[in-house]
Chain A
Amino acid sequence: MELWHTHLLREKIDQDSLLVQGNRACALGALDAGVRFFAGYPITPSSEIMETLARELPLVGGVFLQMEDEIASICACIGASLTGEVALTATSGPGFSLMQEALGYAVISEAPLVVVNVMRMGPSTGRPTTPSQGDVMQARWGTHGDHPAIVLAASNVADMYRLTMAAVRFAQRFRTPVTLLADEVVGHMRESFSPELAGRYRLTSGDFDFTETYIHPEMVREVHPHQLGALRHPHVTGLIHDETGFPTNDPKKSEQFLYELHDKVVHHRDELCLYDIKNEGRGRVCILAYGSCARSARAALRLAEQEGLPVEVLHLYTLFPLPVEIVQKVARRVEFMLIPELNLGQYAREVRKMAENWTTVVSMGKVDGTLIAPQEILERVEELVGKYESI
């Protein structure tokens, strides 16, 4: 197994532990997953991903390109992707906005690539050095037209490493861009974690495992079959196309194509939706959280246990496709779902769609640029439980 973590293990400070910055961990995850192409543009708070890869990629025969803007960055990645590379770019809010058109191009041309968005407060220039989760719905619906989206959310430095690997693998397997969301705190924090990696994330189909077959160098160099397999002269287009790769205006074929794009992701939710549950089955309140808020949620769980409050935590690593099965499973057994997030309730609305038949979904948004403290979550839980008992 160590073979697949060569870049990460170089960061060891002693026998058992590592100390890595989140953005650096993301770059190391990309290297260990076999990413050998990066094109990007400097932007706070994601620049360290680029700086790490500027040093490391040439040492392993990879390509590092600094482009003139974010549009060029993602387009270079698509170009590389069409040759069979799996490419990665990293940015933050304003750059992610500029990338949206090309992101749609990557979806329709089925180009595997990973976009890391280390979120900062928006809209526009916003507050570049404060954490936010304001880009969640942009990651889902930012580019125009009906399209699938695979969106992961990292909550700590270990996630930055492992979810980058997962994002690479998902991009390869489903031939579509994958967005990894982090926020400023996750990107900039330094923390230690165990290099022991397997089995930490769960899927409804079982444990998610980083084994040799999972991150296999041959897998990340698969040639794009849609174009190259179909004809001797591949044709790649952003127009609606049929199985030959050439454009079509045929209504039937157009509809079929869009359904295929959509279904290839949504019909594989059991392979894509990574999550973790703490205190499973013992909560009247479920704190559903992702990203840095999930850390607060886990800390709030410990506080709640001290007070004897019935709380469980559903930590989502995959935001899209919507993890319908697990959210509904939990919703059936809890009275409240509390969703702390650093936006005005973007994901709470998604959860409401999935869960409101069975439980009361309570949004807890915060947009002042500070993190949600565990105590704040605890107070909300106390309020909810108290409210229930008084009825």
Chain B
Amino acid sequence: MEPFHAEPNYIIEEAPVFSSGHNACPGCGEALAVRYVLNSMGPKTVAVIPPSCIAIISGPQPYSSMRIPVYQTTLEASAASAAGIRRALVRQGKDDVNVLVIAGDGGTYDIGFQALSGAAERNEDMVYVCLDNEGYMNTGAQKSSSTPYLAYTTSTPGGKPNDKKDIAEIMAAHRVPYVATATVGYPEDLARKVAKAKEMRGLRFIVVLTPCLDGWGVPDDGAVRVSRLAVQTGFFPLYEVEEGERYAINVGPTPGWPVERYLETQRRYRHLTADQVAAIQAHVDHKWSLLHARAKVECVPMFQGAEI
């Protein structure tokens, strides 16, 4: 596949919702994502945030870094809480307020999944953004079901034996109006997707890969570089799915760039053997071929209606 970038000249329009002086670690990839998400959503937004690094970033009272109402809910209930807020706002005639969930991967892939799946099935009207740093980084870097295959965490000291859950595909299978993947290394792509989601109705889901410096073992200035490498090596494809079937791949991988270029930037992969790297490469290649097949799929009717 040739390298391409769907909309490299997208102009980010930022409203000053997220302020500096927040509580994230210096160089945090997630804080960058919070900035583009909040500032693209604008001031007429209610944020629902479960326990996570995002809850820390949003700041201890009274020093909120977010100039919007923030509802810090319980870890398992983000989507359900947001559904309650949205339905009540509609009842009060306040249809023009955006309801935004910003949850981590633990609160989305694991403990919050039941509430999210229920909200998706009911097609609740909200934007759900998962800031995915591939583990429970706020409690000391334990694995989540988003942690990739063979990555080290404190609860997978020998490397995680299972693959990362494909949350974008799971959400697409709920046939919600909009599903997208994004990452902080491509801020114009991230901001465009948030702005696009904001204008739609129903459950809109965006998963954003946000490197965790401490949990991944990346230097302070490395978040953006690692994030771009994840896309360029094909490890984390950027794509959109509308109504569960219309796929569009937004940024193509760089031809000939092995996944090793991405893995070698992080301490959590430094125990890998050459065979293991090859296994990860094969896995990435396979997932690319599946994504391609879905993006180009031609519909063949299952039932022609001729003979019964």
Residues of chain A having any CB pair with chain B under 8 Å: 41-44, 47-48, 50-51, 54-55, 58, 64, 66, 68-70, 94, 98, 124-125
Contact = CB atoms under 8 A, between A and B. Distances in A.
A70 B140 CA distance: 17
Contacts of A64: 155
A54 B74 contact: no
A41 B143 contact: no
Contacts of B76: 69, 98
A47 B142 contact: yes
A247 to B, nearest CB: 28
Nearest to A97: B74
Nearest to B75: A94
A66 B141 CA distance: 13
Interface in B78-119: 106, 109-111, 113
Contact of A125 (B51, B106, B140): B51
Q: How large is the interface on B (under 10, 10 to 19, 20 to 34, 35 or more residues)?
A: 20 to 34
A125 to B, nearest CB: 6
B75 A42 contact: no
The 5 closest A-B pairs by CB, nearest first: A69-B111, A68-B110, A42-B142, A42-B139, A42-B136
B156 interface: yes
Interface of B: 51, 72, 74-76, 106, 109-111, 113, 136, 138-140, 142-143, 145, 154-158
Contact of A54 (B72, B113, B138, B154): B154
Contact of B111 (A41, A48, A50, A58): A41
Given A42-B155, A48-B140, A58-B158, 19 more contacts: A42-B140, A47-B142, A47-B154, A50-B142, A50-B155, A51-B142, A54-B154, A54-B155, A66-B143, A66-B156, A68-B110, A68-B111, A68-B113, A69-B76, A69-B110, A70-B111, A94-B75, A124-B74, A125-B74
Nearest to B154: A51
Contacts of B154: 47, 51, 54
Contacts of A68: 109-111, 113, 145
Nearest to B50: A125
Nearest to A50: B155
A98 B113 CA distance: 15
- Prevailing SS type, chain B contact patch: loop
A55 B74 contact: no
Given A47-B139, A50-B142, A66-B143, A94 B155 contact: no
A126 to B, nearest CB: 10
A55 B157 contact: yes
Contacts of A47: 139-140, 142, 154
A54 B153 CA distance: 10
A289 B157 CA distance: 39
Nearest to A54: B155
21 contacts: A41-B110, A42-B136, A42-B139, A42-B142, A44-B139, A44-B140, A47-B139, A48-B140, A51-B154, A54-B156, A58-B158, A66-B143, A66-B156, A68-B145, A69-B76, A69-B111, A70-B111, A94-B51, A98-B76, A125-B51, A125-B74
A44 B53 CA distance: 13
Nearest to A46: B139
A38 to B, nearest CB: 10
Contacts of B109: 68
Nearest to A66: B155
A17 to B, nearest CB: 26
A58 B159 CA distance: 13
